[in-house]
Amino acid sequence: DTAVSQTPKYLVTQMGNDKSIKCEQNLGHDTMYWYKQDSKKFLKIMFSYNNKELIINETVPNRFSPKSPDKAHLNLHINSLELGDSAVYFCASSHKGRNTGELFFGEGSRLTVL
Amino acid sequence: LAKTTQPISMDSYEGQEVNITCSHNNIATNDYITWYQQFPSQGPRFIIQGYKTKVTNEVASLFIPADRKSSTLSLPRVSLSDTAVYYCLVDSNQAGTALIFGKGTTLSVSS
């Protein structure tokens, strides 16, 4: 079983559309994250949720809205997509406090905005 | 901002030992040093973490001098499959924080 799974793996869409990426973890972790990796391969934290509560919200446009229906799921909804949103989005999870320092990442969702 | 500095890229040949050094001059007392590996089209994967001296696991060794201002990830006898980006991070592992990734070191292993 995949520990952190994201869907879809690839997403191609037009500017102005709204799209969602789903993430699920079966590791029993309390904390989940969304990272964005742009074309320069720079990984940037976007959001973090602990037990369905938003704890980190970096400088991300309001068009991005995370939703955590339960602690095993963290979905990312993006409104009015722009060309600059094209990137690979990674979901990750960890224990609260990350005592071992370990984040478990999903395989990524490659979003292409045309 | 990432609190670490590491080489942008390194080249090696199969069977060689590779040492990637990371500088973290402003490391805090409660910070740990953690390394991640990322293959193309995959998410980063935890390799090793340490606080001081030496840590070894089945994948790599991590050497941390007494002043903790730098660290060295050592990969013994690399193979082609070790070609990846290696990220050095310093982090306090505190709840409510997230790992901040820098640009990493792209290691290319040739035959």
**Could you report the per-residue pLDDT of A29-62, keeping only the tens digit for each?**
988 999 999 988 888 999 888 888 888 888 789 9
Quote the CA–CA distance of B12 and B18 in Å, as a whole number: 7
B63 touches chain A (CB under 8 A): no
For residue B102, what pLDDT is reported? 85
Fold of B9-94+102-110: Immunoglobulin-like (2.60.40)
In terms of pLDDT, which residue wins out, B83 or A39? B83
Residue A1 binned pLDDT confidence (cut-offs 50, 70, 90): low
User: What's the rounded mean pLDDT across residues A20-28?
Assistant: 96
Chain B residues lying within 8 Å of A39, measured CB to CB: none
> Which of the pair, B82 or A42, is modelled with greater confidence?
B82
**What is the per-residue burial (b if ≥16 Cβ within 10 Å, else e) of B53-73?**
eebeeeebbbbbeeebebbeb
Q: Which residues from chain B sit within 8 angstroms of residue A50, using beta carbons? A: 95-96
- What CATH number does the domain located at A4-113 have? 2.60.40.10
Q: What is the pLDDT of residues B8-29, one digit of tens each?
A: 999 999 999 999 999 999 998 8
With 70 as the cut, is the pLDDT of residue A23 above it?
A: yes
Residue A73 pLDDT more than 60?
Answer: yes
Residue A56, chain B, CB below 8 Å: the answer is yes
* A50/B contact by beta carbon, under 8 A: yes
Structure tokens at A71: 């602690």
